[in-house]
Amino acid sequence: MKVSMEWLRELVDLDQSAEQLAETLTRGGIEVEGVENLNKGFEKVVIGEIVSLAKHPDADRLLVCDINVGQESVVIVTGAQNLLVGDRIPVAMVGATLPNELSIRKSKLRGVVSLGMLCSREELLLDETVGLDRSAGGILILPPEAPIGENFGHYLGREDSVLDLELYPNRPDCLAMVNVAREVASLTKKKPHLLKWADQHQELSLPTASDLRIIIEDEDLCWRYAGLVVEDVQIEPSPEWMQRRLKASGVRPINNIVDITNYCMMEMGQPLHAFDRDKIQGDVHVRCAYPGEKIVTLDGVERNLQTDTLLIADDHVALGLAGVMGGLDSEVTKDTKRLMIESAHFSQVSIRRTSRRLGLRSEASNRFEKGLDAHGVVATLGRVCDLLLELGAGRPVALVDEVKKLPSGRQVSLSAEHTSTVLGVELKVDEIRQVLDNLNFEYQQQKGLFQVEIPSYRSDIEIEEDLMEEVARLIGYDRIPTTLPQGDLTQGSRTPGQEFRRRLRRTLVQSGMDEVLTYTFTRAESDAQWGSAQHSIPLLNPLREELSVMRTSLVPGLLDVAARNVARRNMEVSIFEIGNTYWGEEQPLRDLPREELRVA
């Protein structure tokens, strides 16, 4: 999970740097794998304006540019041919090290001193969404309103740092910005500023759609499915602030509708998918694939489906792979005028199986695989409504929310005395109360016993020891003293049986015999000859045909070893084995077989 510091500061009061916050989170049990400075490589890149262009006196293919970079003008020699006087371009000043690791020095080209370099998209590692169309294949041309002299990284909104969280499977809640903000607020004792939709139990006040019905055919694979109907859709690029935050989170901006669904997923933790409403024929079915069914996914690949693959479908065709990827037939295009935006709770086992089988991994499937809060399905659509109206991207008109099951609330008891005993540090009741307040958990207290209501988004807290871990994290692991283990020491010794086997083995070896270890499996006919066919246990999946039953005698294995030696002209064979034999009392087995230790 990549966490933008700019975005995080909007959700919680922070006075720590990115590096300091990374240390705080790691100490609190949320490991930060790295901190990335998005402005790295842009520190000495500024926006300049071309004042004049002239041919190089000694080179036909070079141009000498006079560049206004704000407080001064610099002369730069370039070979680019897509430049015009008045263009605004990024200028790497002397001493800069660009994102592609290229260092800029003062140079002399055919007798003309060049004090910097004009930059292309490739040198700055930028995609085609930055700059004008004339930038292709040459210098990056910026819009005419780009401010001269401003740091280029600041202009792009890259003065941000990103924390890369290494989350363990027990903390899927931190795959949402609002929950990361909650975690940061708890650890730093700062106040969070969360959206009203961060309350997973918020209701969305919209009429029920009269022309849309959701049919969940397997409630074990889909607990809840909600569809938001949107009309008057306007497809266009999303605003720069949204694109900037998505890029910082590792998500590629596409258009306002797709970007809103991705933005809400990163913010709230609930994956969403937008379908073209006019391409849905009849009801929406959440079902498993039919035998031989196929679907063409958004990446243009036709995929063969197995009958346990969960699908979203209409009355006629599959519309998408539930929780993994949408279908090409219901894709949102520039001509889309109506939407159905999906928010659902799918079985994590089903999504993981589909994702692995088809080799499709996405931000959405990653969240479904780790488990989601079914209570947050509609609250996330409420956030979608706010953004649709804010950006003028569409008008939410109706909602369908089909619920099969919702997990009930959890209450966990926490004893202050027991917590002190387990953690090994004396804790006051007020300290534990402060921890629960910082976590924003509701509780009832009676002397030293707390009855704590666990929020639905914290699926990792189920027993008292889980709450003890929360107490340890927030008071600081460094408060727990280092102590040596205590207890009575006992002298180790062999049991009489172990001692007898040791003496027996030593006696046989001293008499000139070699110990061998053979398979506990043998041939059925050999075992019947030397052991007991009545008590022999056949294997359901033998390694090979001659090893098809568990042995009731050691003799067949010893005879095989002797025969193998004699066949190789080793006539001096004197061997023994100490091992278990296995006796089944009935067939098929209902209980474990009886094991007898024997020597042969």
User: What pLDDT digit, counting tens, does each position of 66-90 carry?
Assistant: 999 888 889 988 888 888 888 999 9
Given a cut of 90, whether residue 558 has pLDDT beyond it is: yes
pLDDT grade for 182, boundaries at 50, 70 and 90: very high
pLDDT of residue 411: 92
Tell me which residue of 165, 176, 186 sits closest to 367, measured CA to CA.
Answer: 176
Largest interatomic CA distance in the chain? 104
Work out the average pLDDT over 130-149: 87
- pLDDT classification of 521: cutoffs 50, 70, 90: very high
- How confident is the model over 383-407, as pLDDT tens digits? 999 999 999 999 999 999 999 988 8
pLDDT given at position 39: 81
Q: Is 579 helix (H, G, I), strand (E, B) or coil?
A: strand
pLDDT score at 224: 93
Residue 450 above 80 pLDDT?
yes
CA distance 382 to 400: 13
Residue 110 CA: distances (Å) to CA of 50, 54, 74, 105, 113: 21, 14, 17, 16, 9
Which pLDDT band, with edges at 50, 70 and 90, does 190 fall under?
confident
Q: Do 78 and 118 contact (CB within 8 A), yes or no?
A: yes
Q: What would the mean pLDDT of 3-7 be, rounded to a whole number? A: 90
User: Residue 214 has what pLDDT?
Assistant: 94
Separation in Å, CA 242 to CA 96, 239, 310: 29, 6, 32
Say if residues 184 and 25 touch (Cβ distance below 8 Å).
yes
pLDDT band at 496 (very low <50, low <70, confident <90, very high): very high
Residue 102's pLDDT is: 87
Q: Which amino acid is at 544?
A: R
Helix (H) or strand (E) holding 449: strand 449-454
How confident is the model over 281-310, as a mean pLDDT?
A: 90
In the chain, pLDDT over 90 holds for what percent of residues? Answer: 47
Most confident of 34-48, 130-144, 211-225: 211-225
Confidence (pLDDT) at 477: 86
Answer yes or no: is pLDDT of 557 > 90. Answer: yes
pLDDT per residue as tens digits for the range 55-65: 888 887 888 89
Question: Which pLDDT score is estimated for 225?
Answer: 94
Q: What is the pLDDT of residue 287?
A: 93
Residue 270 amino acid letter: Q
pLDDT band at 561 (very low <50, low <70, confident <90, very high): very high
pLDDT of residue 129 exceeding 80, the answer is no
Whether the pLDDT of residue 486 is over 80: the answer is: no
- Rounded to an integer, the average pLDDT of 238-247 is 89
Task: Name the average pLDDT for the chain.
Answer: 90
Say which range, 126-130, 337-341, 596-600, has the weakest mean pLDDT.
126-130
Is residue 147 reached through a cis peptide bond, with omega within 30 degrees of 0 on the bond before it? no
Per-residue model confidence (pLDDT) at position 408 = 87
- Give the C-alpha distances (Å, rounded to integers) separating 478 from 165, 211, 346, 475: 22, 59, 40, 8
**Domains defined along the chain, listed by start:** 2-37+163-194 (3.30.56.10), 45-155 (2.40.50.140), 214-403 (3.50.40.10), 410-479 (3.30.56.10), 496-599 (3.30.930.10)
CA distance 450 to 429: 9
pLDDT in tens, 349-366: 999 999 988 888 888 888
